[in-house]
Amino acid sequence: MLSLGYNEYVYQGGDWGHILGTHTVFHYGNKHIKGWLTNMPVCGPPKFTQYPFLYIRSMVSLVFDKATQSNLQAVSQVFNSGMGYMRQQSTRPQTLGYSLSDSPVGLLGWIYEKLVAWTDKYPWTDDEVIEWISIYYFSRAGPAASTRIYYEMLGGGQQTGMSPGWTSVPLGVSYFPGELMRFPKLWSNTIGKLVFESEHDKGGHFAAFEVPEKLAGDLRKMYGKGGPAHGVVPGKTGYDE
C-alpha cells in the first residue's frame, strides 16, 4: 500500500485475508492501518490472566447461551470432518499441485465442494463456477500456488500463528450465519479493539461474493459519518456521501 502511495488506509478481509490482516495490523497498525473489518474472526478464548471480566462472561455464555454452544459444535464439526484439504495442502502441496494442474475435472471437484459446502445455499451459476476454476487453472503459477500458502503457514514454513496478538487499532466484525469459523462473539475482543459488530441473516464463508452489498454496507456503517471509526484516516470522508 505504501508503494501505491497510501500512507494511511483501512483494511478488510476474510479467510486468508483475515489471517494476513491480523499480522499486518499487528506490525503496521495505527501508523499506517487505521482500522480493519473482518468477516472471519479467528480467535481463541480469553485467558483469565489477561481478560478476567471477559473470561467470566465467556464462561457464562458457554454454559447458558444455546447459540454459542451450537456455533462451537459447528466449528468442532468443521475441524473434525472438513479439514482434510488443509492437511494435504499444508504437508504435500506440490504432489497435489501436479494432480490439480493435470486434471481440470479434478480441480473442479477440489474447489466446487467448498463453493457448495462453505456458502449459505448460494445458487451458483455455471459461468460463476467456471470463472472461479479458471482463475486457478489458467494463472501463470497454476493451482499449486494456492496450496503452497498452507504449507508455508502451517507446514514447512515458520509458523507464526493465526493471530499474533491484540492491537488498539479499531476493529469491526461482520457475522454471517454460514461462516465456518463461528467462534463466540465475545472472543473477538481478544484480537483487537472491537468498536463495531454486525450480524446478518444471510451469507456464508464467501460473503464478499455471496452478499457483497451486506459486507460493503458494514464498511459504510463503520467508517461513515456517525460510525465508530469515522475519520480514522484524516481527510478521507468517502462514506459520508
Strand partners, 38: 13, 173
Give yes or no: 151 in active site: yes
pLDDT at 239 over 80: no
In which band, very low, low, confident or very high, does the pLDDT at 162 lie, cut at 50, 70 and 90? low
Spatial distance between the Cα atoms of 100 and 112, rounded to a whole number of angstroms: 13
Tell me the mean pLDDT in the region 98-112.
95
Banded model confidence at residue 159, pLDDT cuts 50, 70, 90: low
Q: Is 15 a catalytic residue?
A: yes
d(CA 25, CA 34): 9
Give the pLDDT band of residue 165 (cuts 50, 70, 90): confident
The CA distance from 235 to 241, in Å, is: 14
Tell me the per-residue pLDDT of 37-84, one tens digit each, with 9 for 90 and over.
Answer: 999 999 999 999 999 999 999 999 999 999 999 999 999 999 999 999
Distance CA 190, CA 100 (A): 38
**Mean per-residue pLDDT for 107-120?**
97
Residue 157: is its pLDDT beyond 70?
Answer: no
Which residues 6+ apart lie within 8 Å of 199 measured at CB? Answer: 175
Sheet holding 33-38, edge to edge: 9-13, 33-38, 170-175, 193-199
Phi/psi for 40 (5° steps) reads: -140, 75
DSSP state of 144: H
Higher pLDDT residue, 150 or 159?
150
CA–CA distances in Å: residue 190 to residues 7, 24, 140, 157, 209: 27, 16, 39, 25, 28
Strand blocks (E) in the chain: 9-13, 33-38, 170-175, 193-199
Which are the contacts of 119, defined by CB distance < 8 A and separation ≥ 6?
178, 204, 205, 206, 210
* Predicted local distance difference test score (pLDDT) of residue 164: 81
List the catalytic residue out of 15, 51, 200, 218. 15
Residue from 151, 200, 218, 223 carrying the catalytic annotation: 151
Residues 6+ apart with CB under 8 A from 12: 21, 36, 37, 38, 39, 215, 219
SS3 111: helix
**Which entry of 11, 120, 150, 205 is annotated as an active-site residue?**
205
Q: For residue 201, what pLDDT is reported? A: 97
pTM of this structure: 0.91
Q: Go through the domains of the chain in sequence order and give each one's CATH number.
A: 9-78+163-240 (3.40.50.1820), 82-155 (no CATH)
- pLDDT tens per residue across span 182-198: 999 999 999 999 999 99
